[in-house]
Amino acid sequence: MGAKAKKSLKKKMSKISSSSSAQLVNGKQAAADFLPLEGGPARKLPELKELKNKSGVLYIGRIPHGFYEEEMKAYFSQFGTIKRLRIARNKKTGKSKHFGFMEFEDPEVAEVVAECMHNYLLFEHLLQVYVIPQEHVHPKLWKGFNYRYNPVDRLQTERKRQNKERTLDEHRRLVGRIMKRDQKRRKKIEAAGLDYECPEFVGDVKCVPKKIKFSQD
């Protein structure tokens, strides 16, 4: 290290010592977060405030029967403007799963609703209301939130499946399954020691129904 480098280093050390001595207040050294590399007075970083939850999404559990979208919107709108509302429903029947989600435009309103309505007795049900943090809100949570579900008529679909037109091979497989079930039924009746004459099942392929498509092979 040359003579010039030593002199510059001494100057820097003297500046740092003078700045540290200037920080003494009432015989105590003030707290400093970092010291500049080039010397000078120490600076303290500004205090960072805790980021509050900016989410306005609520989880509402134990929703009673009959308290659905329209009723919930009319009731909770007294707190503030509701942005979105969704009740979880069964895909087959369309019935409520007794929990849902609600989003307010103002996150502070959501916090007030969670404080006021948690464990609130409504139609013999204690509502469970929580604010969902922003990082836990699923991106597909509101997908189809305004979708009016019409349950599928299971009876109609099953009727169409049973009455569909079948080919000759499909009819043979159907008759074979019926014969197997009939044989199992007969064995169970014999094992039980019951004296019962089972009706004979005619599984002749010639006796085919009218709704059959014969292949051209």
- Please identify, among 136, 167, 188, the residue that sits at the C-terminal boundary of a domain: 136
pTM above 0.75, yes or no: no
Which residue reads 């008759």 in tokens? 175
pLDDT of residue 28 exceeding 70, the answer is: no
Mean pLDDT across 2-11: 69
pLDDT of residue 109 exceeding 60, the answer is: yes
Mean pLDDT across 167-196: 89
- Please identify, among 109, 136, 163, the residue that sits at the C-terminal boundary of a domain: 136
Structure tokens of 179?
């014969």
In the prediction, which pLDDT does 25 show?
44
Within a domain: residue 111?
yes
Residues 160 and 106 in one domain: no
Residues 82 and 121 in one domain: yes
pLDDT of residue 71 exceeding 90, the answer is: yes
- Chain centroid offset of residue 152 CA: 23
pLDDT of residue 174 exceeding 90, the answer is: no
Within a domain: residue 10?
no
pLDDT of residue 150 exceeding 90, the answer is: no
Mean pLDDT across 66-92: 91
Mean pLDDT across 47-74: 83
Distance CA 117, CA 13 (A): 63
Q: Structural domain tally of the chain?
A: 2
Within a domain: residue 37?
no
Residues 182 and 118 in one domain: no
In the prediction, which pLDDT does 17 show?
55
In the prediction, which pLDDT does 24 show?
46
CATH of the domain at 131: 3.30.70.330
Within a domain: residue 123?
yes
Distance CA 32, CA 20 (A): 10
Residues 104 and 166 in one domain: no
Within a domain: residue 144?
no
Least confident range from 8-17, 43-52, 56-65, 75-84: namely 43-52
Residues 129 and 159 in one domain: no
Phi and psi for 118 in degrees, rounded to 5? -70, 130
Strand residue runs (E) in the chain: 24-25, 28-29, 57-61, 82-89, 96-104, 121-122, 125-126, 128-131, 166-167, 212-213
- Please identify, among 136, 163, 185, the residue that sits at the C-terminal boundary of a domain: 136
Residue 130 binned pLDDT confidence (cut-offs 50, 70, 90): very high
Which structural domain range is residue 194 located in?
154-200+207-213
Residues 74 and 115 in one domain: yes
Residues 64 and 117 in one domain: yes
